[in-house]
Structure 1
Amino acid sequence: MPPLPESAHYDIREPNAQRIVSDAQAIEVAHKIAAFLLEGSAERDRNREVPPEVVEVYSNSGLWGITVPREFGGAEVSYATLAEVIAIVSAADPSLGQIPQNHFCLLEDIRLQGSDEQKRFFFDLALKGNRFANALSETGGKNVQDIQTRLRHDGDSVLIDGRKGYCTGSLYAHWIGVLGLDEQNNAQLAFVPRGTPGLVIVDDWASIGQRTTSSGTVLVEGLRVPAFNVFPTHRSYDVPTLAGPFAQITTSAIDAGIARAALRDTIAFVREQARPWIDAGVEKASEDPLTIIQVGELGIRIEAADALLERAGKVMDAARPAPDEDSVARASVAVAKAKVLTTEVAIDATNKLFELGGTRSTLARHGFDRHWRNARVHTLHDPVRWKYHLVGNWLLNDKRPPRHDWN
């Protein structure tokens, strides 16, 4: 076997995050960070590069620690608030809105399956501003659950070998969460500090959209991890938990943000630069009656998607104290409904920007193509056609959704 390549370099600095203590503060900080990230978002997309100081400002804002439970010093914001925070940030830059999405999912794994000692240690890291990235998925299997990475116990450690893909945020991370199957084929999640021998981050993400998410490859070979850093993540699906709805609502929130960004730029461009069609008989594109109708329709659909997203968060909030088969199923269905609308309106809004803005809106200097590319790529996370099936099967046949990361 050839030797592992050198891990990709990124200027990882010592974290120094502020502490957010409430839902209201989380929303307030999200708006401030969004204003900061909006500036330069088109340039970062164009160059496929995020300056380290941008990531530092983002994670040191305290937003990456808002789901830490109160008993461990966090704000433990509601799921509805978390979705809104992600949507606000994603409307400014959805690539940077996505990089903590799996960070939040990893913190949820810790909450669900960690011992008190593990929770204390890793939640403290998150509150200080440490960034966690995932090495969960793989690109070569027959489906998304075909995991080839293997984990075996060796005394007080585990040894891991495998190849991971779609490792969002890996270039920017202090820690990587690596998923592998143990000797009994149970899924285990190991948290690995950046720079650990046997862990290689490959900066090879080359998609047309979400270009700065660093969703590339992570290689692990003979990777030794202390048993303390390993979590039995399979248990989150052996019994009813909100792990699946949690992963889905955070993903849906990114698409909601992309739709908001497209509508924002459509309105500004139509007002300031687009021309009305000759048959409209008006002086400005913003007075064109057919344009007005379509902008109105987009606004209504985006608000409907936002409302379903918020409702899904509240259904999850209600289930959190004592999740059971029925409450988790209701949460999964509620999130699926939101996922349908956020997916479809993100694609439609990013396409309508060009239709209503006209040819001049396609000029490269505007960077509007990034909205469509981001929507087209991110909404491929999992097929929304199966959300229709999930909801229909619940309504017609009282079938609870299968429990996994995509429900």
Structure 2
Amino acid sequence: MPLSLAKSPPLDNAVGFEADGQPEGVPASFRVPPARVRPARRIASEAEAIAVAHEVAATIARDAALRDRERQLPYEELELISDAGLFAISVPKAYGGVEASAGTVAEVIAILAAADGSIGQIPQNHFFILEALRLEGTEAQKRFFYDRILSGERIGNALSERGTRTAQDHATRITRVGDRYRVDGRKFYSTGALFAHWIAVVANADDGRSTIALLPRDTPGLTLIDDWSGFGQRTTGSGSTVFENAEVDPFALVSIAAVFERPTSMGPFAQIMHAAIDFGIARGAFEEAVRFVRAYTRPWKESGLDHGYEDPHIIAEIGAAKIALDAAEALIARSARFIEEARSDPTPGTVAAASIAVAEAKIAANDAALDISSRLIELGGAHSTLAEHGLDRYWRNARTHTVHDPVRWKYRVVGNYWLNDVNPPRHGAI
């Protein structure tokens, strides 16, 4: 069914404009780039968000293997997702959005990841930055940026770096120069930045505190480089972003340090999206395994069977895979409820419980993605290894994404929580 796209109706709380044409509440010093002109659907409910995600997924799935094989970057596919209004589902109701729950955001990501693992990963950092804006942004920042997101604009990630002691350390700096700021540094793993309207760079300010700066993609001194060479997630655009004396207006700064200095749902929300990506890849691999076995797999000669799908060993393997998939899905849904509790009552206890629930879900999704994507090849037989099918992309995507944060540390924090009553640390990687 084709997507029904409609221009967004005017809202009472939409961003207004001053007499000089600058959006209301936005300082004159802030350079406002031209807005996205393609119409974006205004999704009205969480159920509609899920339905629209399925419609979009059916379209992007068609050429997923081709894009992976030839590394065709998904510019138009991301425009389609923007047109459908899916990048705006987490915008709060007070600003014209649906204010989708963590469970709905996770399910939308999983639906997209099942269709194309690379595309499914791209919204994760976009929603992460929107959550930081919700928790720590000023009223004027929220009104301006949420309005741009509702028009279909996208935020790309410039968070992690290579060469620092850990992936969470930053050599990139935001330095005050008079009444302005400058960003200098080099980022890698910049998922979605190539396709984004805004680049969210995380860097240390003069006081050493971690800060987000939201820069228009055409900011002088900002360079996007397509040098991602991962064997999986090949079309995420996760390459380099370079900042050379790139100017930032104070209006574009949001403290990320403050989000983790107090109990908030930021960490578990970030992690449930990672779990959703893994789960979506697992779901896609399972659906492909069922289809491929029924269409191509031949029985072993000693079985006396006519079809591969009658083989009791293959039947059992499919059953085991489905159980693992359903377990991961149930744990993700359960963890989403914990996140909503932490959002409504953010205390050290509710946030810790949400973080642990999400860690458990992430472990299950991680294992399901790796196991099912491997079973897909095993059960498909030699025919499944042919390049024309592109089935190896599920395992390559799963293996690449699951190394973002090692589950061996999640086992430790889960065990320490239940055995020794020790709360996990508050950050986005647990």
TM-score range, shorter chain: over 0.9
- The CA deviation string for residues 66-98 of structure 1, in whole angstroms up to 9 with x for no partner, is 001100111001111111111011100111111
State the match for 1:5 in structure 2.
none
Amino acid at match of 1:143: T
For the 8 Å contact 1:199–1:219, the answer to whether it is kept is yes
Give how far 1:15 is off.
4.1
Rounded to whole Å, the distance in 1 between the matches of 2:318 and 2:273 is: 26
Q: What's the counterpart of residue 189 of structure 2?
A: 166
1:117 corresponds to 2:159: no
2:67 and 2:235 in contact (8 A); partners too? yes
Q: Which residue of 2 aligns with 1:259?
A: 282
Q: CA–CA distance in 2 between the matches of 1:121 and 1:322?
A: 27
Deviation at 1:53, TM superposition (A): 2.4
The answer as to 2:129 corresponding to 1:129 is no
Match of 2:338 in 1: 315
Structure 1 distance, partners of 2:182, 2:73, is 33
Q: What does 1:298-337 correspond to in 2, within 5 Å? A: 298-337=321-360
2:235 is aligned to: 212
Match 2:78 to one of 34, 38, 55: 55
Which structure 2 residues correspond to residues 4-403 of structure 1 after superposition, within 5 A?
Answer: 14-403=37-426
Partner Cα distance (2:106, 2:172) in 1? 31
Residue 15 of structure 1 contacts residue 130 of structure 1 at CA under 8 Å; is this kept in 2?
no
Gaps of 5+ in 2: 1-34
- 1 CA distance for matches of 2:178 and 2:240? 29
For residues 186-211 of structure 1, give each alpha carbon's deviation from its aligned partner in whole angstroms, at most 9, with x where no partner exists: 00100000111010001111100000
Partner residue, 2:4? none
- Write the distance in 2 (CA, Å) between the matches of 1:155 and 1:63: 39
Matched AA of 2:49: A
State TM-score, norm by structure 1: 0.96
Give the equivalent residue in structure 2 for 1:4: none
How far apart in 1 are the matches of 2:302 and 2:418? 46
Tell me the distance in 2 between the aligned counterparts of 1:54 and 1:239.
37
1:52 Cα deviation from its structure 2 partner:
3.0
SS of the residue aligned with 1:168?
coil
Structure 1 CA distance for aligned equivalents of residues 330 and 74 of structure 2: 34
Give the aligned residue type for 1:95.
Answer: S
What is the CA RMSD across the aligned residues, in angstroms? 1.1
Residues in 2 aligned to 1:74 and 1:168: alpha-carbon distance in whole angstroms: 24
Deviation at 1:13, TM superposition (A): 6.2
Per-residue displacement from partner, 1:216-250 (whole Å, max 9, x unpaired)? 00000101110000001100111011111111100
2:200 partner SS: strand
Q: Which residue identity does 1:133 align to in structure 2? A: G
Query: Is the 1:139–1:164 contact (alpha carbons within 8 Å) kept by the matching residues of 2?
Result: yes
The equivalent residue for 2:18 is none
Q: Which amino acid aligns with 1:171?
A: L
Q: Do the aligned partners of 1:79 and 1:313 also contact (CA within 8 Å) in 2?
A: yes
Query: How many Å apart are 1:54 and its aligned residue?
Result: 2.0
Inter-partner Cα distance in structure 2 for 1:261 and 1:27: 16
Q: What is the letter of the counterpart of residue 134 of structure 1?
A: N
Q: TM-score, normalised by structure 2?
A: 0.91
Q: Output the CA distance in 2 between the equivalents of 1:144 and 1:205.
A: 17
Matched residue of 1:191: which SS?
strand
Of 149-158 and 82-91, the range deviating more from structure 2: 149-158
Counterpart AA for 2:71: R
In the other structure, the counterpart of 1:9 is: none
> What CA distance in whole angstroms lies between the structure 1 residues aligned with 2:94 and 2:344?
14
Q: Deviations over 1:275-327 (max 9, x none)?
A: 11123221111100000001001001101100101111111012212211000
| Count of residue pairs the alignment pairs up | 396
Q: Secondary structure at the match of 1:279?
A: coil
Q: What amino acid is aligned across from residue 322 of structure 1 in structure 2?
A: D
Q: Are 2:36 and 2:151, in contact at CA under 8 Å, matched by a contact in 1?
A: no
Q: 2:36, 2:153 within 8 Å by CA — same for their partners in 1?
A: no
Distance of 2:75 and 2:415 partners within structure 1: 45
C-alpha deviation, 1:108, in angstroms: 0.5
CA distance in 2, matches of 1:297, 1:332: 27
- In the alignment, the residues of structure 1 paired with residue 179 and residue 140 of structure 2 have an alpha-carbon distance, to the nearest angstrom, of 16
> Partners in 2 of 1:337 and 1:51 — Cα distance?
32
The SS at the match of 1:18 is coil
Q: Name the SS of the counterpart of 2:344 in structure 1.
A: coil
* Offset at residue 335 of structure 1 (A): 0.2
How many Å separate the matches in 2 of 1:243 and 1:139?
24
Percent of counterpart pairs with the same letter?
Answer: 49
Query: Structure 1 regions of 5+ residues with no counterpart?
Result: 1-11
Rounded to whole Å, the distance in 1 between the matches of 2:312 and 2:234 is: 36
Q: Which residue of 1 aligns with 2:12?
A: none
Q: Is the 8 A contact 1:167 1:215 kept in 2?
A: yes
* SS of corresponding position for 1:19: coil
Q: Is the 8 A contact 1:280 1:289 kept in 2?
A: no
How far, CA to CA, are the matches of 1:144 and 1:241 in structure 2? 22
The answer to whether the 8 A contact 2:46-2:100 is kept is yes
